[in-house]
Amino acid sequence: MPADHAQSGRVVHRHGVAAIATFLVLTFPLAMFETPKSKRWNFGSIVELFKQCFPLFIALFLYAFIDNMPKFVMEGVLSYDNQLYFNALYFPAQGILLTVGSSTSPCSCAWRTSADPTKRKRFDLIIVVIMAVIVAVAGVTTLAMAWIGIPVMSFLYGVDFEQFRGLCYIMLAAGGVTAAIDFLYQVITVLRQQRAATKLYVITFGFALFVPILLVNFTGLPGAVIGYLIVMTILFVLLIWE
């Protein structure tokens, strides 16, 4: 056992030396030669940065409420097992968002260059292509859930999710919509239109205050899932309009 610890210590030491060496020989020199030097910071630039980012903060803060509103409503109206069902259905829908987000985030540099008015067609084409990718990812996820996903969930949770097959499809549709919302928000941010986007999140937050409450009180868990899709669709339509 002491020999194993010594061996592992030597491996960690070699990895650390290699990391420091590559930083000094490759990463740091390349950064110095290839990266333009930034201006010296000043208090005014920090204030301006906060002013520019504050609408983004408000929008994302409101989105957190919008996204979780069905859960808040269920907690006060329905039994705890409904939270379990909702979260289980929510997981594959979030998988769509994570998959799309990991593939669209590297495109931000292309969006910045394509956002030039002289390259508007290229910019529009990128948006259309990524929207098609979102639809494809949502469709493949839905097929996978219809084939093996629901039985696997039933096995993992010890609950028969076959009874929630319809709700699962609705939640997956909501997952596709949230992925599109995330992408459109990135586009609006690149275009420096975050102030206009914040207004849309405020409007959607108003809908989120009563749509889930009404539906959950009338229909229970189905109302939470359907209400989630309705509110996200409202936000999606507003962003498309913007």
What confidence tens digit (pLDDT) does each residue in 3-32 have?
444 444 444 455 567 778 777 777 777 666
Asked if pLDDT for residue 161 goes beyond 80, the answer is: yes
Q: What is the pLDDT of residue 41?
A: 64
Q: Determine the Cα–Cα distance for residues 192 and 231; give it in Å rounded to an integer.
A: 25
Across 92-96, 155-159, 169-173, the highest mean pLDDT is recorded for 169-173
Residue 48 has pLDDT above 60, yes or no: yes
Q: Which two tokens stand for residue 49?
A: 């940065």
For residue 175, name the pLDDT band (cuts at 50, 70, 90).
very high
**CB-CB neighbours of 82 under 10 Å:** 17
Please tell me the distance from the alpha carbon of residue 95 to that of residue 182, in angstroms, as a whole number.
13
List pLDDT tens digits, range 198-220: 889 999 999 998 999 999 988 89
Q: At what angle do helices 43-77 and 194-208 cross, to 10 degrees?
A: 20
Distance between CA atoms of 238 and 219, rounded to whole angstroms?
27
- Does the pLDDT value for residue 152 go beyond 60? yes
- The C-alpha torsion from 180 through 61 and 221 to 162, rounded to 10°, is 40
Each residue of 99-121: pLDDT tens digit? Answer: 887 766 555 555 555 555 566 67
- In this structure, the number of other CB atoms found within 10 A of the CB of residue 160 comes to 11
- The predicted structure's pLDDT at residue 170: 93
Query: Is a pLDDT exceeding 70 seen at residue 65?
Result: yes
Q: What angle do CA 187, 191, 193 make, to 5 degrees?
A: 100
Judge whether residue 126 has pLDDT over 70.
yes
